[in-house]
Structure 1
Amino acid sequence: MRVFWAKGFAATSTDDLVQAMGIGRQSLYNAFGDKRRLYLEALEAYQHGTVASHLKRLGTPASPLAGLRNLLLGLVAEDDGLRGLGCMGVGSVGEFGASDPEVAALRAKAAPLLQARLVERIREGQAGGEIAPEMDAGDAADFIQMTMTGLQLAARGGAGLEDLHRMAAFAIDRLKAR
């Protein structure tokens, strides 16, 4: 997963994969069939893990606004090397767009879970007076997901920890009830 995450599908060679996994080429083919199947399995495992982490950070605090803040700040790794990888899922969008049906299907399976929970937390925040009541909860959830993508791309592009934290705080501040 880490090799695909760092390099993307096209730039990852079979040699890169067998070296990272410590197996022979034939073992890779026997276990996964081909590089593409391995990529799809790695992407699915990555998405499963990250969505679970996102949902946990979003739902853990009692305050919906704090949950949203935790969600965004949790995207920003403290470690420079890890932060610079950005997000494998966002990388797959950049590499494949909507042109690959299997990659798009993986995305379509994961995205609604986060979207639905974002809408719930935003509505909770509106009901509790933390989040601006006039906002459409779906639009606000889209804004948070767009911010997540932007933070990941900025991280991949070399943005520093403080800058990413500042961007996340700015986005959360837009949701606050005035």
Structure 2
Amino acid sequence: MRVFWAKGFAATSTDDLVQAMGIGRQSLYNAFGDKKRLYLEALDAYQQGSVAGHLRRLTAPASPLAGLRDLLAGLAADDDGLRALGCMGVGSVGEFGVSDAEVAALRAKAAAPLRARLVERIREGQAAGEIAPGLEAGDAADFIQMTMTGLQLAARGGAGIGDLHRMAAFAVDRLKAR
């Protein structure tokens, strides 16, 4: 997963994979069939893990607004090397767009539960008076998910942790009740 995450699908060679996995080429083919199957498994595992983390950060605080802040701020890894990898899912968008149905289906599968929970938390925040009542919860959830993409792309482009945290807070502040 780390090799695909760092290099993307096209730039990752079979030699890169067998070296990282410590197995022979034939073992890779026997276990996964081909590079694409391995990529899809790696992307699925990555997205399951990252969405689980997103949901934990979003849900943990009693305050929905704090949950949104934690969600976005948590995208900026403390480790410079890890932060510079950005997001494997966002990388898959850059590499495949919507041209590959299997990759697009994996992304949609990962995005759906996060969007649903975002809508719930935004509505909770509106009911509690933390989030502007006039916002359409689905649009606000889409805004947060697009902000996530932008933050992760900025991280891959070298943005520092301070800048990422500042932009995360700025985005969440746009949702506040005034």
Give me the whole-angstrom Cα distance separating, in 1, the residues matched to 2:20 and 2:43: 16
Scaled by the length of structure 1, the TM-score of the pair is 0.99
Give me the whole-angstrom Cα distance separating, in 2, the residues matched to 1:109 and 1:146: 16
5+ unaligned residues in a row in structure 1: which ranges? none
Structure 2 residue aligned with 1:46: 46
Q: How does 1:84-95 map to 2 (within 5 A)?
A: 84-95=84-95
Structure 1 residue aligned with 2:134: 134
Secondary structure in 1 matching 2:131:
coil
Q: How does 1:64-143 map to 2 (within 5 A)?
A: 64-143=64-143
Give me the whole-angstrom Cα distance separating, in 2, the residues matched to 1:21 and 1:70: 34
Deviation at 1:107, TM superposition (A): 1.1
Q: Which runs of 4+ in 1 moved over 2 A?
A: none
Structure 1 residue aligned with 2:170: 170
Secondary structure in 1 matching 2:174:
helix
Structure 2 residue aligned with 1:144: 144
Amino acid paired to 1:10:
A
Listed one character per residue, the Cα deviations across residues 32-78 of structure 1 (whole Å, up to 9, x for unaligned) are: 01100000000000011111111111001100000000100111000
Scaled by the length of structure 2, the TM-score of the pair is 0.99
RMSD of aligned alpha carbons: 0.5
Listed one character per residue, the Cα deviations across residues 114-172 of structure 1 (whole Å, up to 9, x for unaligned) are: 00000000000000000000111001000000000000000000001111111101001
Amino acid paired to 1:76:
A
Secondary structure in 2 matching 1:98:
coil
Q: Percent identity?
A: 86
Q: How many residues align?
A: 178
Give me the whole-angstrom Cα distance separating, in 2, the residues matched to 1:3 and 1:112: 26
Amino acid paired to 1:30:
N
5+ unaligned residues in a row in structure 2: which ranges? none
Amino acid paired to 1:56:
R
Q: How does 1:5-44 map to 2 (within 5 A)?
A: 5-44=5-44
